[in-house]
Structure 1
Amino acid sequence: METISSPTSSVPIHPGMPLLGNTLAFLRDPLAILRTLQQRYDRVVHLRIGGRHQYLVLRPDDSKHIMQENHRNYGRSPAFNVLKIFLGNGLLTSDGDFWRRQRRLAQPAFHRQKLAVLAQTMVQETADWVDEVKQHNQQPVNVSQAFMDVTMRIVCKTLFGSDVVGKLDGLSSALDTLQYYANQRMLSPIRFPMKWPTPAHQRFRRASALVDSFIYGVINQRRQNSTSQHDDLLDMFLNAEDEETGERMSDQQLRDECVTLFAAGHETTAVSMAWTLHLLANHPDVLTRLRAEVTSVVGDAPTPSADVFRALPYTMQVVQESLRLYPPAWIMSRLAHQEDHIGPYTIPAGDTALVCPYLLHRDPTTWPDPERFDPDRFAPGREKDRHPYAYLPFGGGPRLCIGNQFALMEMQILLAMVVREFDCRPVPNQRITPQPLITLRPKRPIMLYLIK
Structure 2
Amino acid sequence: MTDQPPIPFVKGVPFLGSTFAFLHNPLGFLRRLQKQYGDQRLVRIQLGRRTVTVLLKPEEAKYVLQENNRNYGRGRSYKVLREFLGDGLLTTDGDYWRRQRRLAQPAFHRQKLAVLADTMIDEAVAWTGRLQAQDRTRPVDVSTVLTDVTLRIVTKTLFGSGLGNQTASLSQALNELNHIISQTVLNPIRLPSWFPSPANQAYEKASKQVNDLITGIIQTRRQDATPHDDLLDMLLRATDEETGEGMTDAQLLSELITLFTAGHETTATSMAWTLYLLATHPDVQTRARTEAQQTLGTRTRFSADDLRTMPYLSQVINESLRLYPPAWAMSRLSLGPDTLGVYSLAADEGVLVSPYILHHDPASWPNPDQFDPDRFAPERAAGRHSYAFLPFGGGPRLCIGNQFALLEMTALLGQLLTMFDLTSADTTAAQPSPLITLRSKQPIRLYLRNLTI
CA–CA distance in structure 2, aligned partners of residues 124 and 375 of structure 1: 27
Q: Tell whether 2:19 aligns with 1:23.
A: yes
CA–CA distance in structure 2, aligned partners of residues 236 and 347 of structure 1: 41
Cα deviation, residue 167, structure 1: 3.9
Cα deviation, residue 163, structure 1: 6.3
Cα deviation, residue 451, structure 1: 1.0
Q: Is the 8 A contact 1:7 1:346 kept in 2?
A: no
Report the secondary structure of 2:331's partner residue: strand
Cα deviation, residue 354, structure 1: 1.2
Q: Is the 8 A contact 2:103 2:240 kept in 1?
A: yes
CA–CA distance in structure 1, aligned partners of residues 341 and 383 of structure 2: 24
CA–CA distance in structure 1, aligned partners of residues 205 and 77 of structure 2: 23
Cα deviation, residue 445, structure 1: 1.2
CA–CA distance in structure 2, aligned partners of residues 410 and 353 of structure 1: 32
CA–CA distance in structure 2, aligned partners of residues 104 and 156 of structure 1: 23
Q: Deviations over 1:48-82 (max 9, x none)?
A: 01321100111111111111111000000110001
**Which of 9, 30, 38 is the matching residue for 1:13?**
9
Residues 42-191 of structure 1 correspond to what in structure 2 (within 5 A)?
A: 42=39, 43-134=41-132, 135-162=134-161, 164-191=163-190
Q: Deviations over 1:96-122 (max 9, x none)?
A: 111000000000000000000000000
Report the secondary structure of 2:382's partner residue: helix
Where does residue 245 of structure 1 map in the other structure? 243
Point out where structure 1 has 5 or more consecutive residues left out of the alignment. Answer: none
Q: Is the 8 A contact 1:7 1:345 kept in 2?
A: no
Residues 297-376 of structure 1 correspond to what in structure 2 (within 5 A)?
A: 297-376=295-374
CA–CA distance in structure 2, aligned partners of residues 169 and 25 of structure 1: 36
Where does residue 448 of structure 1 map in the other structure? 446
CA–CA distance in structure 1, aligned partners of residues 165 and 300 of structure 2: 24
Cα deviation, residue 136, structure 1: 3.3
Cα deviation, residue 390, structure 1: 0.7
Q: Deviations over 1:218-263 (max 9, x none)?
A: 11111111x2010000000000000011111111111111110111
Report the secondary structure of 2:239's partner residue: coil
Q: Is the 8 A contact 1:336 1:353 kept in 2?
A: yes
Q: Is the 8 A contact 2:102 2:240 kept in 1?
A: yes
Deviation larger for 261-270 or 205-214: 205-214
Cα deviation, residue 155, structure 1: 0.5
The one-letter code sitting in structure 2 at the alignment partner of 1:375 is: P
Q: Deviations over 1:411-452 (max 9, x none)?
A: 111111111111110113233101111111111111111111
CA–CA distance in structure 2, aligned partners of residues 287 and 317 of structure 1: 12
CA–CA distance in structure 2, aligned partners of residues 425 and 411 of structure 1: 19
Q: Is the 8 A contact 1:239 1:248 kept in 2?
A: yes
Q: Tell whether 2:30 aligns with 1:34.
A: yes
Q: Is the 8 A contact 2:147 2:268 kept in 1?
A: yes
Q: Deviations over 1:130-181 (max 9, x none)?
A: 1111113121000011111110010110000026345424111111111111
Deviation larger for 329-338 or 423-432: 423-432
Q: Deviations over 1:319-355 (max 9, x none)?
A: 0010011001111111001111112211221111111
- CA change 1:173–1:7 in 2 (3 A) is farther
The one-letter code sitting in structure 2 at the alignment partner of 1:143 is: V
CA–CA distance in structure 1, aligned partners of residues 256 and 367 of structure 2: 40
Residues 203-242 of structure 1 correspond to what in structure 2 (within 5 A)?
A: 203-225=202-224, 227-242=225-240
- CA change 1:168–1:16 in 2 (3 A) is same
Report the secondary structure of 1:162's partner residue: coil
Q: Is the 8 A contact 2:239 2:246 kept in 1?
A: yes
Q: Is the 8 A contact 1:7 1:341 kept in 2?
A: no
Cα deviation, residue 382, structure 1: 3.0
The one-letter code sitting in structure 1 at the alignment partner of 2:337 is: E
Q: Is the 8 A contact 1:330 1:357 kept in 2?
A: yes
Cα deviation, residue 185, structure 1: 1.3
Point out where structure 2 has 5 or more consecutive residues left out of the alignment. Answer: none
Q: Is the 8 A contact 2:155 2:162 kept in 1?
A: no
Q: Is the 8 A contact 2:152 2:162 kept in 1?
A: no
The one-letter code sitting in structure 2 at the alignment partner of 1:318 is: V
The one-letter code sitting in structure 1 at the alignment partner of 2:30 is: L
Where does residue 264 of structure 1 map in the other structure? 262
The one-letter code sitting in structure 2 at the alignment partner of 1:85 is: E
Q: Is the 8 A contact 2:47 2:188 kept in 1?
A: no
Where does residue 436 of structure 1 map in the other structure? 434
Report the secondary structure of 1:47's partner residue: strand
The one-letter code sitting in structure 2 at the alignment partner of 1:8 is: Q
Q: Is the 8 A contact 2:52 2:352 kept in 1?
A: yes
Cα deviation, residue 300, structure 1: 4.6
Residues paired across the two proteins, number = 447
Where does residue 191 of structure 2 map in the other structure? 192
Cα deviation, residue 93, structure 1: 0.5
**Superposition RMSD in Å:** 1.4
The one-letter code sitting in structure 2 at the alignment partner of 1:113 is: Q
Cα deviation, residue 302, structure 1: 3.2
Q: Is the 8 A contact 1:272 1:328 kept in 2?
A: yes
Q: Is the 8 A contact 2:426 2:445 kept in 1?
A: no
Q: Deviations over 1:349-374 (max 9, x none)?
A: 11111111111111111111111111
Cα deviation, residue 408, structure 1: 0.6
Q: Is the 8 A contact 2:66 2:396 kept in 1?
A: yes
The one-letter code sitting in structure 2 at the alignment partner of 1:290 is: A
Taking structure 2 as the reference length, the TM-score comes to 0.96
Deviation larger for 19-28 or 8-17: 8-17
Deviation larger for 105-114 or 196-205: 196-205
